[in-house]
Amino acid sequence: MQLTQQLVQLAAEEENPLIPPGPELVIGLIAFAIVFFFLSKKLLPNINKVLEERRAAIEGGIEEAEAMKVEAQSVLEQYKAQLAEARHEAARLRQEAQEQGAALIAEMRAEGQRQREEIIAAGHAQIEADRKVAAQALRQEIGRLSSELAGKLIGEALEDHNRQSRVIDRFLDELEEKAEAAR
């Protein structure tokens, strides 16, 4: 046991750990070459491309958001302008309606006035006409009654119709004159 260990130690002392053995050196270079080849030729260019794409996508997204913001701003301003315009329009319409209403009322009042006057005038005319008819009828009735009365009083019939009516008219005119004088 001790002998083998001493042998091992002896062998180890012959090997200087700072002198690189050739085969290991070659294997180390080959192993590194494999790593470097795959990474530099394929895998890192691969990921660089993707990182670049991602950067572009993110920047594109930012630009898009910027554009949307600007658009939203313009739409908002448009809406505000439209709202102000609508308010203005509403105020104008109200004003107009008020004016129209006032004009309508005035017009209707005038119409009412006119109709009232018309009705009154018609009424007056009717009354006048009725009065005239009544006066006519009354005159005739009075004439007939008075001639009848006169006939009875005088005892003779007043046959002459013309003469009769002339007498009556004269009598009535006298009556009217008296009435006028009395007033």
DSSP 8-state secondary structure symbol assigned to residue 21: -
Identity of the amino acid at 71? E
Which of residues 9 and 162 has its CB atom nearest to other proteins in the complex?
9
Round to whole Å and give the CA distance between 171 and 163.
12
162 forms part of the interface with other proteins (CB under 8 A): no
62 forms part of the interface with other proteins (CB under 8 A): no
Q: How far is the CB of 68 from other proteins (least distance, A)?
A: 21
Round to whole Å and give the CA distance between 76 and 16.
82
Stretch that binds other proteins, among 40-48, 95-103, 110-118, 162-170 (CB under 8 A): 40-48
Q: How far is the CB of 55 from other proteins (least distance, A)?
A: 10
Stretch that binds other proteins, among 4-12, 83-91, 105-113, 162-170 (CB under 8 A): 4-12
Stretch that binds other proteins, among 53-61, 90-98, 152-160, 162-170 (CB under 8 A): 53-61
Stretch that binds other proteins, among 52-60, 72-80, 87-95, 165-173 (CB under 8 A): 52-60
Within 8 A by CB and 6+ apart from 171, the residues are 146
End-to-end CA distance of the chain: 179
Round to whole Å and give the CA distance between 178 and 174.
6
Instruction: Answer yes or no: are the C-beta atoms of 132 and 110 closer than 8 Å.
Output: no
Closest by Cα among 162, 127, 169, 130 to 146: 169
50 forms part of the interface with other proteins (CB under 8 A): yes
Q: Give contact residues for other proteins (rule: CB under 8 A).
A: 1-2, 4-5, 7-9, 11-13, 15, 17-32, 34-36, 38-40, 42-44, 46-47, 49-51, 53-54, 57
